[in-house]
């Protein structure tokens, strides 16, 4: 069991392994969640403005702002992951879609997020409520938003 900031893969439906993905001017820590913004070629760290429809990856190595690549596992959304929550973990939030607070924390606000800024689906809690640890699935897309008209 792990307690702290960052996303941790706890179950994967496929043995994908990690590979180098391109970054530019990004400081990345192990456990950071990365996204490939629409139209971009470089991955960036997720923020509170990240959206559900971008491709996502989990950093398994650190990188400095001068690095051009980081080792990461690209996610497909089926993986069970553990992450720190901004608020006390609560089983009442299971099933809620949640926005990201930043690259290593989920904003479990106690309400279901119904906008494109949703990034995580809580399925359970880990440890005591004060540990602020939840598990679920990162919401992953292919870079195309279905609401574009």
Do 84 and 70 reside in the same domain of the chain?
A: no
What is residue 12's predicted lDDT score, i.e. its pLDDT? 64
Measured CA distances, 144 to 39, 106, 124 (Å): 10, 23, 28
Do 86 and 132 reside in the same domain of the chain?
A: yes
The reported pTM is 0.89
Do 68 and 54 reside in the same domain of the chain?
A: yes
Residue 129, φ and ψ in degrees, nearest 5? -60, -35
The boundaries of the domain holding residue 65 are: 15-74
Do 85 and 68 reside in the same domain of the chain?
A: no
What's the domain count of the chain? 2
Residues lower than pLDDT 50 in the chain: 149
| Dist. CA 8–CA 57, nearest whole Å | 11
| Tokens 């906008």 belong to residue | 115
């Amino acid at each position: 069991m792990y307690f702290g900031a960052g996303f941790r893969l706890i179950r994967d439906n496929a043995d994908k392994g990690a590979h180098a993905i391109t970054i530019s001017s990004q400081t990345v820590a192990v456990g950071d969640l990365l996204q490939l913004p629409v139209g971009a070629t470089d991955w960036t760290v997720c923020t509170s403005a990240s959206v559900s429809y971008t491709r996502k990856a989990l950093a398994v190595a650190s990188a400095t702002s001068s690095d051009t690549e980081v080792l990461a596992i690209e996610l497909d959304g089926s993986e069970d992951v553990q992450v720190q929550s901004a608020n006390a973990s609560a089983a009442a939030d299971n099933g809620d879609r949640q926005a990201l607070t930043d690259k290593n924390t989920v904003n479990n606000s106690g309400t279901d997020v119904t906008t494109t800024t949703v990034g995580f689906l809580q399925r359970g809690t880990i440890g005591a409520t004060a540990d602020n640890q939840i598990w679920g699935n990162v919401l992953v897309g292919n870079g195309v938003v279905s609401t574009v008209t």
